[in-house]
Amino acid sequence: MPEYKLPDVGEGLTEAEVVAWRVKVGDVIEVNEIVCDIETAKSIVELPSPYAGEVTALLVPEGETVAVGTPIIRIGADEGAAAGASPATPTPEAEMDIDLSNPAASGGGEGESLVGRNKADRGPTRRARRAPGAEAANKQAQAAFDPGTSPAPELEELPEVSPPPAQTTPAAPSDVRVLAKPPVRKLAKDLGVDLSSLAGEGPQGSVTREQVQAAAASPVAGRAASAGERASRPLATGERETREPIKGVRKMMGQAMVDSAFTAPHVTEWVTLDATRTMELVERLKSHREFRDVKVSPLLVLAKACLLAIRRTPEINSFWDEAAQEVVYKHYVNLGIAAATPRGLVVPNVKDADAMTLRELAEALGGLTATAREGKTQPADMSGGSFTITNVGVFGVDAGTPIINPGESAILCFGSITRKPWVVVEDGEERIVPRHVTTLALSFDHRHVDGEKGSRFLADVAAILEDPASALLF
């Protein structure tokens, strides 16, 4: 019976973590049916099965990281082959691993990708087990003996029980039948929340992220960490240290930041400005009929200001190609927005943001952040960025010295907007009044972005935030 090996999902990665199983031992599945969710260093990917038949063993428990090529699930022959009534019994050649890089191997249409393709939300619904009797006995015989072993015993000698311990993995978690999206399951696992203790309030009775967070905040409700979780994240008093493996997004981000910090000479400049008029513009846009169904925030105005300022300083949107000894100027802007997620910091980007209207940019930013928070950001959404904004103001932080993302030349840090005393000059007279004040910090690659260019870009962005009407000058 075939073993499905963890495939290379096309990102050049060597390992992945099994986040959640969508099937259990005894389920009968079809080709291309989603069997589990895996987490790579970049995203969570749905993994479809290249085989049809009965699941006889889950070879890797949830939460374990395995290398590409490791068997993760064992799938028996399909029902027709098991009954012996069909002449289409798989040959050894037919049981060979399917080349997942070939879309035709999935049985789908032309251009379909087997791994990570979009598919309608099926939910964690399980297929019913076959009735006991001859089929159950046949299943037992399949699970108990691999090809090449001694002949199977008589069927009447086989008790109707689950497959032998040698072919099984630890029991599925108690929340396996609870409706919840993979990111929600991952969040519940990290916070030690038992999903089975929660009554789903989301679509189709699914458990929502808000329910998990509320249960985690409660000292009693929903808290049922397993023995394995307690071992990896001790909660008992007296524990002085806790070790947590570095993997996934955190590992990728750490390596990228190290590479950037030690290859590009960073320079950071700051400017503190009066953003009162920007805040007034945000309030007017919120009441405008064209923006009533989209999110309008100071970040939207800042993003538009950066796109306009890049026109005057295109070096900000270029990058230093060390291998080719060239500076690559990009005639488009893929605007990256750093987003904090339960999986770590990710930086998806809005493709061709410079060609968008303000309304289109608002929609793109809203969709981008919502997808990131749900843990559904795909690798393609995080590649090809040309300029990044990191909004630390949402955490109440005034400013910072951000590190440039690889393949880019600059990153802008957006601090919190707070009411502070500010000197205002009116009719030649100075007076101190409370104003909305914020700080911007720009880090840039000093190999080809000198102080004059970096300062000009930062001053242009600040000027637009201080007086949004000045955007007409760009």
Closest CA to 178 of 215, 139, 131: 215
CB 13 within 8 A of CB 39: no
Measured distance CA(23)–CA(47) in Å, rounded: 11
Measured distance CA(337)–CA(389) in Å, rounded: 5
CB atoms within 10 A of CB 170: 9
CB 215 within 8 A of CB 221: yes
Residue in 266, 288, 331, 446 annotated catalytic:
446
Beta strand 335-337 with 387-391: parallel, antiparallel or unpaired?
parallel
CA distances from 131 to 74, 128, 135, 139 (A): 21, 9, 7, 11
Which residues in 275-417 belong to E strands, given as ranges? 318-321, 326-329, 335-337, 339-341, 344-346, 349-350, 387-391, 410-414
Helices (H), 374-450: 379-382
Phi, psi (5° rounding) for residue 356? Answer: -95, 150
> Which amino acid makes up residue 32?
N
- Catalytic residue flag (residue 446): yes
Active site residue ranges = 446
